[in-house]
């Protein structure tokens, strides 16, 4: 039955162009407690589309917001050492570049457990975190990181400004995709920023999602998938000017964008033109750049199933590492269950002794790998592959193989 397409969450244009339709899927972070094992998952369409007007890629907004935000599980940024190292390096570099000192203020939006702001505090710089999840904000406060438990909106930004706050640096990493109203969020950044202040935002680069078939980063909690072309349009509309862009390796290839108010003094670097040119070469400023993606996704799924079925037929036991949201999109779209991957391990105690949503694969502590000695370990968060292989090097030396599925099956012995 034909249905009317939804409208772009930013500019309101009808979304008539599909990037990929992943069918019905449960929420990626809705881990199932064992006492609810008999209760079926709520599932929702997972359909990514591109706006033909502003080129914002977005998933259909079909999940009630309170279902997304009321999930039991809390994400703690401090669980990955490579991520902490990345944050410390950023705090050092940005403090030096923008001359931040003890009279400066750094605000982080979605400051989580204080994983980033702690490094600015160590330098004597004043900090304020804004974090909507009370459970992780409490951890930040216990570390001495001043944190407000709020969603960041333009109204809240104006309230902070009226309290006399005017940050020299506002940072946000991997939050822009999670906000349901990107226009209001960006307006809030412009309302809060000091006259010559800097806003830095990191997000997985849509160019890599498309080129490297990272379709597993698509899930309901991720409302948007960002290119520089879409971000510059939204920033420009809200009085912000992009003056630098860095390509960084996190999350399979991200952009770190630096922006300021239109009449601030920051000079545009060559990095901006370089990324604009890459996106133009990939035709991300036309609908042509978004066609054909679904075919690549189907090929990836077929490759994963062929590998898992061959492993099962030859008696090799496959376990998973990392109960990540992206793993759930991959497993549910590919219809992989415990018959093909016996269990998944995760370092986060909040996820242990649960079942993955949809696939219902059990989640155990990492120790299980040492008791069980699987033949192959498929690393679901492929972006931390090297860290995981190094951490489990003793298993590798005893013959366990490591596998990643994106952009295609790769086996590391």
Residues that bind Zn ion (CB under 5 A): 8, 10-11, 13, 51, 53-54, 56
Measured from the CB of residue 124, what is the shortest distance to Zn ion in angstroms?
43
Q: Which is nearer to Zn ion, 264 or 287 (CB)?
A: 287
Phi, psi angle pair for 304, to nearest 5°: -65, -45
Q: Which is nearer to Zn ion, 11 or 121 (CB)?
A: 11
**How far apart, in whole angstroms, are the C-alpha atoms of residue 344 and residue 159?**
44
Measured from the CB of residue 290, what is the shortest distance to Zn ion in angstroms?
13
Measured from the CB of residue 240, what is the shortest distance to Zn ion in angstroms?
17
Q: Which is nearer to Zn ion, 20 or 261 (CB)?
A: 20
- 78, 41 contact by CB (below 8 A): no
Q: Which is nearer to Zn ion, 20 or 344 (CB)?
A: 20
Measured from the CB of residue 292, what is the shortest distance to Zn ion in angstroms?
21
**How far apart, in whole angstroms, are the C-alpha atoms of residue 253 and residue 202?**
10
Tell me how far CA of residue 40 lies from CA of 18, 226, 330, 334, 362, in angstroms. 28, 33, 19, 18, 15
Measured from the CB of residue 11, what is the shortest distance to Zn ion in angstroms?
3
Measured from the CB of residue 216, what is the shortest distance to Zn ion in angstroms?
24
| Contact residues for 216 (Cβ-Cβ < 8 A; gap 6+) | 326, 327, 329, 330, 333, 406
DSSP 4: P
Q: Which is nearer to Zn ion, 16 or 42 (CB)?
A: 16
Q: How many CB atoms within 10 Å of residue 350?
A: 17
Measured from the CB of residue 170, what is the shortest distance to Zn ion in angstroms?
24
Measured from the CB of residue 187, what is the shortest distance to Zn ion in angstroms?
16
Q: Helix (H, G, I), strand (E, B), or coil: what is residue 240?
A: strand
User: HSE on the CB side for 118, CA within 13 Å?
Assistant: 17
Measured from the CB of residue 1, what is the shortest distance to Zn ion in angstroms?
25
- 185, 176 contact by CB (below 8 A): yes
Closest CA to 308 of 341, 282, 335: 341
Q: Which is nearer to Zn ion, 53 or 138 (CB)?
A: 53
| Contact residues for 255 (Cβ-Cβ < 8 A; gap 6+) | 202, 203, 205, 226, 228, 231, 245, 246, 247, 248, 275
Q: Where do we find the tokens 């033109």?
A: 273
Q: Which is nearer to Zn ion, 15 or 311 (CB)?
A: 15
Q: Which is nearer to Zn ion, 108 or 232 (CB)?
A: 232
Measured from the CB of residue 229, what is the shortest distance to Zn ion in angstroms?
11
| Contact residues for 177 (Cβ-Cβ < 8 A; gap 6+) | 203, 204, 222, 223, 224, 225, 226
Q: How many CB atoms within 10 Å of residue 321?
A: 26
- 109, 137 contact by CB (below 8 A): no
Q: Which is nearer to Zn ion, 58 or 94 (CB)?
A: 58
Q: Which is nearer to Zn ion, 10 or 215 (CB)?
A: 10
Q: Following DSSP, what letter does each residue of 284-314 receive, concatenated?
A: TTSGGGGTTHHHHHHHHHHHHHHHHHHHHHT
């Amino acid at each position: 039955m034909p249905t009317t397409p939804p409208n772009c969450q930013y500019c309101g244009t009808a979304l008539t162009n599909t990037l990929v339709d992943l069918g019905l899927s449960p929420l990626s972070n809705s881990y199932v407690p064992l006492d609810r094992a008999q209760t079926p998952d709520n599932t929702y369409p997972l359909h990514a589309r591109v706006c033909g007007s502003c080129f914002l890629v977005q998933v259909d907004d079909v999940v009630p917001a309170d279902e997304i935000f009321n999930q039991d599980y809390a994400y703690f940024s401090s669980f990955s050492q490579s991520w902490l190292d990345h944050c410390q390096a950023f705090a050092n570099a940005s403090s030096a570049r923008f001359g931040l000192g003890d009279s400066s203020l750094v605000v982080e939006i979605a400051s989580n457990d204080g994983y980033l702001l702690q490094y600015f505090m160590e330098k004597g710089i004043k900090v304020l975190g804004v974090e909507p999840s009370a459970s992780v904000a409490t951890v930040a406060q216990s570390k001495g990181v001043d944190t407000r438990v709020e969603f960041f909106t333009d109204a809240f930004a104006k309230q902070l400004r009226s309290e006399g706050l005017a940050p020299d640096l506002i940072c946000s990493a991997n939050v822009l995709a999670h906000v349901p109203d990107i226009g209001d969020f960006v307006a809030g950044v412009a309302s809060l920023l000091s006259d010559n202040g800097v806003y830095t935002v990191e997000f997985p680069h849509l160019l890599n999602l498309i080129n490297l078939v990272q379709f597993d980063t698509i899930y309901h909690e991720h409302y948007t998938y960002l290119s520089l072309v879409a971000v510059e349009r939204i920033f420009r509309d809200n009085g912000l000017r992009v003056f630098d862009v860095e390509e960084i390796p996190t999350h399979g290839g991200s952009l770190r964008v630096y922006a300021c108010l239109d009449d601030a003094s920051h000079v545009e670097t060559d990095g901006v033109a370089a990324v604009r040119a890459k996106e133009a070469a990939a035709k991300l400023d036309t609908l042509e750049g978004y066609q054909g993606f679904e075919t690549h996704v189907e090929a990836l799924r077929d490759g994963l199933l062929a590998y898992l079925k061959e492993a099962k037929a030859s008696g090799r036991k496959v376990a998973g590492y990392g109960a990540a949201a992206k793993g759930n999109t991959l497993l549910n779209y590919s219809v992989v269950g415990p018959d093909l991957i016996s269990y998944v391990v995760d370092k986060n105690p909040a996820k242990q002794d649960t079942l993955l949503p949809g696939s219902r694969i059990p989640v155990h502590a990492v120790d299980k790998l040492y008791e069980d000695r699987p033949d192959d370990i498929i690393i679901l968060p492929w972006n931390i592959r090297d860290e995981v292989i190094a951490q489990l090097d003793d298993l590798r030396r005893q013959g366990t193989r490591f596998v990643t599925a994106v952009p295609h099956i790769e086996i590391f012995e």
